[in-house]
Amino acid sequence: MLLPVLSFIYGLFIGSFLNVCIYRLPAGESLVSPPSHCPHCGRRLRVGELIPVFSFLWQRGRCRNCSSPIAWRYPLVELATAVLFALLAWRFGWPDVLWQAAFYAVLVVIFFIDLDHQIIPDRLVLLLLGITGLVLLSGRGPARGSALLGGLLGFGLFLLLAVVSKGGMGGGDIKLVGVLGLWFGWQQLLLLMFLAFLGGGLVGGVLLLLKLKSRKDGIAFGPFLVLAAFFVSMWGQQLLAWYLGIAGLN
């Protein structure tokens, strides 16, 4: 029980840094300079203003200097990362939570950047690839044959979709699903893609029904891949058994 609690606290502070990545990477800004500051008045934040979630609540969601509102995105990312790390600690234990947390921290950044800008920066995909490579070399991931097949399958299928749909699938999605295939192996990748397309289809249908999107509007698919990856990591075996059951294959 102690590990999930510690992971939750650690996740709060990591989430604070992920906010910096989400805000600065698409703008091409440095992650270390200038130090954290108010985006409205530019004043450098003091130590007490950098405490995740609690500083937002203490300041009632406003800058102490200019009283401009602080976006709810900041505490949301911090809290979501904390809960994510706690769940990963509960699911995988020590020391596997270390590489799981590293992998999913990058996925959190990808989730929000793609949601905001519909791009998945190559450097983030390369970072995921590096983490995946280390895990596979350590023998903690799927069998290497399954990982290689998963990577080729994911990359190949999404590349085919991009060609057939004439750009309907972005290059970032193609690279991301290729890395996810390496991470999960081919069997769990199939489940992941099923969940991602199911979620994307449902959300897209609702947006069309409510006329918030038209058929010509693009919808970022990266967030659905990230959410599907999380569900497969946490409950992959149960979900696979359920899917095979409704398909009459078990």
Higher pLDDT, 214 or 206: 206
pLDDT of 119? 95
Q: Is the pLDDT of residue 63 over 90?
A: no
* Percent of the chain's residues with pLDDT above 90: 65
- Mean pLDDT within 161-180: 90
Residue 109 token pair: 């950044």
Q: Is the pLDDT of residue 70 over 90?
A: no
Q: How far is CA 70 from CA 9, 29, 64, 75, 212, in A?
A: 22, 20, 10, 9, 26
Locus of tokens 């450098």? 44
Q: What Rg value do the Cα atoms of the chain yield, rounded? A: 19
The widest CA-to-CA distance across the chain, in whole angstroms, is 62
Give exposure, 68-83, as e/b (b: 16+ Cβ within 10 Å): eebeeebbebbbbbbb
Residues in the chain: 250
Q: Is the pLDDT of residue 71 over 90?
A: no
Least confident of 35-49, 57-71, 126-140: 35-49
pLDDT of 210? 84
CA distance 190 to 224: 14
Q: Is the pLDDT of residue 183 over 90?
A: yes
- Mean pLDDT within 177-198: 95
Half-sphere exposure of 244 (CA within 13 A, CB side): 11
> What pTM did the predictor assign?
0.93
Least confident of 82-91, 92-101, 151-160, 213-222: 213-222
Strand partners, 37: 44
Mean pLDDT over all residues of the chain? 91
Reported as a pLDDT band with limits 50, 70 and 90, residue 130 is very high
Non-local (6+) Cβ contacts of 236 within 8 A are 184, 188, 191
Give exposure, 35-50, as e/b (b: 16+ Cβ within 10 Å): eeebeeeeeeeeeebe
CA distance 111 to 224: 8
CA distance 98 to 89: 9
pLDDT in tens, 112-129: 999 999 999 999 999 999
Higher pLDDT, 46 or 234: 234
- Mean pLDDT within 198-224: 87
CA distance 237 to 88: 16
pLDDT in tens, 14-28: 999 999 999 999 988
Strand partners, 69: 62
Reported as a pLDDT band with limits 50, 70 and 90, residue 83 is very high
Pick from 181, 158, 153: which is nearest to 168 by CA? Answer: 158
